[in-house]
Structure 1
Amino acid sequence: MKTKSIKLNFIMNFLLTASSILFPLITFPYVSRVLGPIGTGNVTMGTSVVSYFTMVAMLGVPTYGVRACASVRDDKLELSKTVQELLIINIGMMLIAYIAFFITIFSVPSFRIMKTLYLVSSIAIVMNVIGINWLYQGLEQYSYITFISLVFKVVALVLMFALVHKADDYIWYALITIIGGFGSSIFNFFRLRKLIILKPFQHYDFKQHIRPMFTFFAMTVATTVYTNLDVVMLGLMKSNYDVGLYNAAVKIKLIMVSLVTSLGTVLLPRISYYYEQNQVREFHNLISKAFSFVLLFAIPCCLYLMVFAKDTILLLSGKEFLEAVPAVIIITPTILLIGLSNISGIQVLVPTGKESLVLRSVVWGAIVDFILNLIMIPKFGSAGAALGTLAAEFVVLIVQCIYLKELLSQIKTTIEWKCLFGSLVPALIVLIGTYFFPIESVFLRLLIAGCLFFLIYGLGLLVTREEILWSIFNRYILKR
């Protein structure tokens, strides 16, 4: 199979990520004001509950499938057999997940009251299974993924403004969110015939997938605990109003996390391929670039959001959500932590077959998150949940770095710390100064502050000739 350009893949995935950011940036301010904390909290609670059943249906395939497909992508027959085996397992698990879902929804009184919302949200389960995104990522089909996703995001955007007009329209909001996020799954499923042989094989080897799939599944379980348990615990221990506040903080975090981890998504199949082919030098080089990218991008983003947390909440969610400001400030550093652990875990440990170590790190994070949630949520609500998440992400990263001590000594980033901090200090001074400018418009204040901060930061990196940014500037600007 023809190898795709990493540069093209990154551009396509960056466009996809940008659209995933633009969609909530356009819709969330509108939805927050129409539905309020309770309405958005209802949908967030429903999505979080359904995520547990989706996790069971997928059984670790989203990550394992990328590696499995990437390793056999040059052999269409073996690729077809692998995809069929994984899809059959997924469909079987999906049926089990739906049975458990229906029993749960009609057994728990608080869930039964909101059963319509939960049933609508559960469409995500089947969409995740038939979407087979792991195949398209493993084959590096990012141009297609980007195009079809953009189409459905535009459709969802139109539907959002057409159908969501009052507080009781939160079910429409849930359905439209699924269309925007998973509508492409139907096209992915019917497009399978162009990528693999659909004719059934006489013999399937399901056994070879079970052990690694369960390892990835266990990783997903632990990860879901500390990424969704905070929402569920907040809803059960406090109220859906608190969930709505917390969701506002998490939305902002997720927007930036998706950008920071966009490069890693592209690199996973290529890193897996290099490792399988024993191309150690290329493997180390890609990992080094990924670490450098995260450090350069995530640190200034965290500083910007922490300084302007209040204005960001006012712009995206409105005055009703001002109580979420402490949660935003507390949870923002997780952007950097997740970016780094995404590389150390998903981009290094997983391709090298050490996913069990990732599982251990995530389990430790889940334990820390659960304990802190029990202590902090009753006292501090959404801010307490944010603190639990921050601590969990920190623990995950530290544990992974301990496991990777020897390998990390070989994979050194190209970051020159003097360049980074030498550029950040003057930019941060300007940022803090901009915070006190007498500008009434929240949007204008955020825009001016962002432009000045990132402009000074970028110029500082260029003046000090930071390697990554300078190579981009030299290649695409100076050589024109």
Structure 2
Amino acid sequence: MVKKQSIQVNAILNVVKQGCVIVFPLVTYSYITRVLGSGNLGRYSFSDSVIQYFITIASLGVPTYAIREVARVREDKEKMEKLTTEFFSINVLMTIISLLTLYLMVKVVPRINQEAILIYILSIEIIAGTLGRDWLNNVFENFFYLTLRYIVIQTISMILILTLVKSKNDLILYTCIMMISYSMNYILNIYFTRKYLPYRFTFHLNLKTHLKPIIYLFCVSIAAMIYVKSDIIILGFFRSNSEVGVYSIASNVYTVIKSLLNAVIVVAIPRISVYLGNNDRKNYMSLLSGLRNVLYVFAIPSIIGLFFLSKDILAVLAPPSFAYGSNSLRILCIALFFTVIGCFYSQAVLVPNRNEKSYFYATIISGIVNICLNFVFIPIWGLNGAAITTVLAEIIVMFICRRGSEAYIDTFSSMKMMPLIIGCIAIAIICQLCQMFVTSLFLRIIISVFGSVIVYGIILLVGKNEVALNGMNMIKSKIKKYKDTFYCEK
């Protein structure tokens, strides 16, 4: 019997983890951009983008598929062990194919060959990702371990970067630190996940059952990565390394905020799969409805705040030469809303209901559109053109996934939108006032963020927003529980 974890606690833990994803780059990016320069940062970003494609090839869509299928049978250890062995074996074989293909690409493609050393160093991440079986932690909803692991490793990584990377000549050293930082997360899993299920390899892969959905999800992963990574790669072919470095900062901020907003969806996927496996329609719809409301409450104000603070955020992360990337970041803010809602329909509805086919079509169509438009827009508008193609791709994914989800969801309960709208207007006003009257960069960001959070929260509570009221009730119950425990012990 698997112990059921609190979705609220898991969501908070995952948001904390993704929050750290914001904090750690905030400390290191501003340092690295000044030490390495935009050219070297562009070389690393290009190499990392190439490696991410081959990591996706090695995973072959298995992680998403495994979370769904193993979560459905997680009360049956024998079935779990069989599925886990098959999925791990598929990943091992695909990792070998991925590494051989990468080696061939380095030898054949001149632009990739220019960064051969960086790419070979980062290729270790491909092996680590397969051995780590990180999807098992999601199946068992072990988000405390995931959060603690990330914070510890990133803290060590940050210290190493700040103490060892001292000049433009340290690009290879920086690449090694980033590779170790990524790989250590999965190396620790080799020990940690064995307590759930052992490592076993088999040539009986049961491909008749697994191959079709895995291929669909693999194509989805490739197409989804294209939204951002193809922008950087095509920029690398048409523009300078400096422009690639500038766009990579804006793109990383966009990706981090997207991950933070999607954190709530990620923790809900295993539980959604369990409800579907048990044919529990009532809890399934209740969870989906609550999840959608939470996304609206957090996503829209985050997008508004990021839009108005984009210039200040880049000023913190990078030297003045990167400032013109703020326009690209503002354009990417528009994509955030469609990204989050598209992720809700794809990850929380389509994939758990085993309709990866609709998700596949959505991502393939948007991926093709994204690549084609990149070749048109990037030579004309540079990094702003790359940002525009991302917006268009995310819009396509959202609408196709929403249409495909209609068969699996009932009508959602209505939500009071007026407090949310008023709150977002207040955020825009606070950010603009801070721009006008606060001269200190750091102080301006701090006042803008905390002032917006406080005012927005008060407006939601006064307007009796359901998400805000539930959050306040949860905080009150926790405080009461600790008080009762304290007085009992006393």
- Indicate the residue corresponding to 1:186 in structure 2: 187
Check conservation: 2:304, 2:424, Cα contact below 8 A. no
What displacement does 1:203 show? Answer: 5.9
Check conservation: 1:289, 1:414, Cα contact below 8 A. no
- Indicate the residue corresponding to 1:251 in structure 2: 252
Q: TM-score, normalised by structure 1?
A: 0.95
- Indicate the residue corresponding to 2:476 in structure 1: 477
Q: Secondary structure at the match of 2:336?
A: helix
- Indicate the residue corresponding to 1:303 in structure 2: 304
Distance 2:232 2:19 in 1: 25
Distance 2:261 2:293 in 1: 11
Matches within 5 A, 1:327-476: 327-408=328-409, 410-412=410-412, 415-437=415-437, 439-476=438-475
Distance 1:329 1:198 in 2: 45
Check conservation: 1:414, 1:467, Cα contact below 8 A. no
Deviations 1:179-220 (A, max 9, x none): 223312112123333111446679653432111111111111
Distance 2:457 2:203 in 1: 58
Distance 1:173 1:66 in 2: 33
Distance 2:162 2:228 in 1: 29
Distance 2:304 2:201 in 1: 54
Matches within 5 A, 1:206-225: 206-225=207-226
Check conservation: 1:36, 1:320, Cα contact below 8 A. no
What do you get for the CA RMSD once the two structures are aligned?
Answer: 1.8
- Indicate the residue corresponding to 1:52 in structure 2: 53
Distance 1:211 1:136 in 2: 24
Query: AA paired with 2:138?
Result: Q
Query: AA paired with 2:117?
Result: T
Q: 1:426 to 1:153 in 2, by over 3 A?
A: closer
Q: Which runs of 5+ in 1 are unaligned?
A: none
Deviations 1:112-132 (A, max 9, x none): 222111111111111111111
Deviations 1:32-85 (A, max 9, x none): 111121111111100111111111111101211111221121111211111111
Query: AA paired with 2:445?
Result: L
- Indicate the residue corresponding to 2:6 in structure 1: 5
Check conservation: 2:26, 2:316, Cα contact below 8 A. no
How many residues in Structure 1 have an aligned counterpart in Structure 2? 478
What displacement does 1:407 show? Answer: 4.3
Distance 1:65 1:253 in 2: 27
Query: AA paired with 1:475?
Result: M
Distance 1:404 1:96 in 2: 34
Distance 2:116 2:365 in 1: 33
Q: Secondary structure at the match of 1:140?
A: coil
- Indicate the residue corresponding to 1:121 in structure 2: 122
Deviations 1:131-157 (A, max 9, x none): 111111112122222222222112211
What displacement does 1:452 show? Answer: 2.0
Distance 2:404 2:185 in 1: 38
Distance 2:67 2:99 in 1: 25
Query: AA paired with 1:221?
Result: I
Distance 1:204 1:91 in 2: 11
Distance 1:36 1:203 in 2: 50
Check conservation: 2:304, 2:427, Cα contact below 8 A. no
Check conservation: 2:308, 2:428, Cα contact below 8 A. no
Check conservation: 1:294, 1:336, Cα contact below 8 A. no
Check conservation: 2:89, 2:203, Cα contact below 8 A. no
What displacement does 1:239 show? Answer: 2.2
Distance 1:45 1:167 in 2: 17
Distance 2:225 2:365 in 1: 13
What displacement does 1:17 show? Answer: 1.7
Q: 1:192 to 1:428 in 2, by over 3 A?
A: closer
Check conservation: 2:89, 2:205, Cα contact below 8 A. no
Deviations 1:316-340 (A, max 9, x none): 1120201211101111122222111
- Indicate the residue corresponding to 1:280 in structure 2: 281
Distance 1:133 1:47 in 2: 20
What displacement does 1:18 show? Answer: 2.1
Q: Which runs of 5+ in 2 are unaligned?
A: 481-490
Query: AA paired with 2:265?
Result: G
Distance 2:360 2:12 in 1: 31
Q: TM-score, normalised by structure 2?
A: 0.93
